[in-house]
């Protein structure tokens, strides 16, 4: 296997591997993972050269952070991001691992949004304790914006601006407590809004720059390039459909739910094209994101050692230039999207 290259989060001078580890899965996203399997999965990924791990308090109500921290403790050379904006509050008497907010975790906590100055600092300090680590490299403001907050969007955003949330992050960065900060979101307009108020180093954008959807090209990605804001791509399979394709019986998952017919049809065309070029659709989905010059890493969710191996195989799969040429010729992609090989 080839070594996995690194790209730099430019404003922070922080190199991360282009293939990273999305640790929502080891917080028991949709299904339980044992402690042993979570540990083995993280170790397999790191041994293979994935030197960037992304977690969050939300992932398993603290479970993902605990598991990630236990593996990273005492280990050098791995860059860690976690998130701020949700505090975990205890729920006495809560037992079992029934699904809550998508996670099958027994951690007895509920999540409380708080993007204020003190809320951000408390979230950061709580994460240090759960991780059992003395340093966090990157903090993302998690799920700010109307997609999550609806009518409460203005108030929650003001917690960051007037309420000092951004100021708290700037202080943490200035003091060296963290190396970089940004947003971790499923929408891109909020990133432009945030960039009017604060210098972000990096944005984790999930689902909005994929083989299926390139709306981030309209204005966010050009703005990120112009301001040297690095971009990490999450949800590169749009919740699964770009990994599984649509040949099977379904349900086909797209953006945290069942895919609408027009999405299924578009994936059907992508899948047919991939098949003509003997290319796994999931390999093209990973490779596509990394062709954009603002993108520094793509972070699939990895919930088992087998999934790590499969993902490494996908990453290593050569994709014929003719696949990319036909993708463009058939208008299956925004014509402005840079493709692998364009620069050659």
Residue from 83, 124, 143, 237 carrying the catalytic annotation:
83
Q: How far is the CB of 239 from ligand NAP (least distance, A)?
A: 5
CA 181 to chain CA centroid, Å, is: 14
Q: Distance of CA 98 to CAs 94, 198, 243, Å?
A: 10, 39, 26
Residue from 35, 37, 59, 153 carrying the catalytic annotation:
59
Give the footprint of ligand NAP on residues 65-104 (CB under 6 A). Answer: none
Distance between CA 296 and CA 340 in Å, rounded?
14
Number of residues that bind ligand NAP (CB under 6 A): 29
- Toward ligand NAP, which CB reaches closer, 30 or 330? 30
Q: Is 83 an annotated catalytic residue? A: yes
Indicate whether 201 belongs to the interface with ligand NAP (CB under 6 A).
no
Q: How far is the CB of 32 from ligand NAP (least distance, A)?
A: 12
Indicate whether 143 belongs to the interface with ligand NAP (CB under 6 A).
yes
Indicate whether 145 belongs to the interface with ligand NAP (CB under 6 A).
no
In degrees and rounded to multiples of 5, residue 184 shows phi and psi of: -120, 100
Indicate whether 333 belongs to the interface with ligand NAP (CB under 6 A).
no
What is the b/e burial string over 48-65, where b = at least 16 CB atoms within 10 angstroms of the residue's CB?
bbbbbbbbbbbbbbbbbb
Give the footprint of ligand NAP on residues 207-236 (CB under 6 A). Answer: 234-236
- Toward ligand NAP, which CB reaches closer, 264 or 321? 264
Binding residue for ligand NAP, selected from 191, 240, 327, 339, defined by CB under 6 A: 240
Q: Is 256 an annotated catalytic residue? A: no
Interface with ligand NAP by CB under 6 A: which range of 4-12, 22-30, 68-76, 264-272?
Answer: 22-30
- Toward ligand NAP, which CB reaches closer, 133 or 243? 243
Binding residue for ligand NAP, selected from 38, 144, 172, 185, defined by CB under 6 A: 185
Indicate whether 57 belongs to the interface with ligand NAP (CB under 6 A).
no
- Toward ligand NAP, which CB reaches closer, 163 or 301? 301
Indicate whether 307 belongs to the interface with ligand NAP (CB under 6 A).
yes
Distance between CA 231 and CA 238 in Å, rounded?
17
Are 57 and 72 in contact by the 8 Å Cβ rule? The answer is: no
- Toward ligand NAP, which CB reaches closer, 68 or 168? 68
Give the footprint of ligand NAP on residues 255-294 (CB under 6 A). Answer: 282
Indicate whether 126 belongs to the interface with ligand NAP (CB under 6 A).
no
Indicate whether 182 belongs to the interface with ligand NAP (CB under 6 A).
no
**Interacting residue ranges for ligand NAP, rule: CB under 6 A:** 22-25, 30, 54, 140, 142-143, 184-186, 204, 206, 234-237, 239-240, 243-244, 282, 299-301, 303, 307, 310
Catalytic residues: 54, 59, 83
């Amino acid at each position: 296997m080839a070594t996995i290259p690194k790209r730099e989060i430019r404003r922070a001078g922080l190199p991360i591997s282009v293939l990273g580890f999305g640790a929502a899965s080891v917080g028991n996203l949709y299904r339980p993972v044992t402690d042993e399997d979570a540990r083995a999965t993280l170790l397999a990924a790191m041994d293979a050269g994935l030197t960037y791990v992304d977690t969050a308090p939300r992932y398993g109500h603290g479970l993902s952070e605990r598991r990630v921290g236990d593996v990273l403790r005492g280990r050098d050379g791995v860059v860690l991001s976690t998130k701020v904006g949700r505090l975990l509050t205890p729920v006495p008497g809560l037992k079992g691992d029934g699904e809550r907010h998508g996670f099958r975790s027994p951690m007895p906590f509920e999540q409380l949004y708080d993007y204020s100055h003190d809320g951000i600092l408390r979230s950061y300090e709580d994460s240090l304790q759960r991780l059992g680590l003395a340093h966090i490299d990157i903090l993302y403001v998690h799920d700010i914006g109307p997609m999550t907050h609806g009518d409460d969007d203005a108030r929650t955003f003001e917690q960051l601006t007037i309420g000092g949330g951004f100021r708290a992050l700037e202080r943490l960065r200035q003091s060296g407590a963290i190396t970089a900060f940004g947003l971790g979101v499923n929408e891109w307009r909020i990133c432009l809004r945030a960039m009017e108020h604060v210098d972000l180093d990096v944005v984790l954008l999930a689902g909005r720059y994929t083989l299926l959807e390139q709306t981030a090209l309209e204005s966010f990605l050009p703005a990120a390039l112009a301001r040297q804001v690095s971009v990490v791509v999450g949800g590169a399979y749009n919740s699964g459909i770009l990994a599984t394709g649509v040949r099977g019986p379904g349900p086909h998952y797209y953006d945290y739910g069942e895919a609408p017919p027009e999405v299924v049809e578009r994936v059907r065309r992508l899948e047919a094209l991939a098949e003509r070029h003997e290319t796994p659709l999931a390999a093209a989905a990973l490779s596509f994101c990394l062709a954009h010059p603002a993108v520094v890493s793509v972070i699939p969710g990895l919930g088992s050692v087998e999934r790590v191996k499969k993902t490494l195989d996908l990453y290593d799969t050569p994709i014929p230039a003719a696949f990319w040429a036909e993708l463009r010729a058939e208008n299956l992609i925004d014509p402005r999207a840079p493709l692998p090989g364009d620069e050659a």
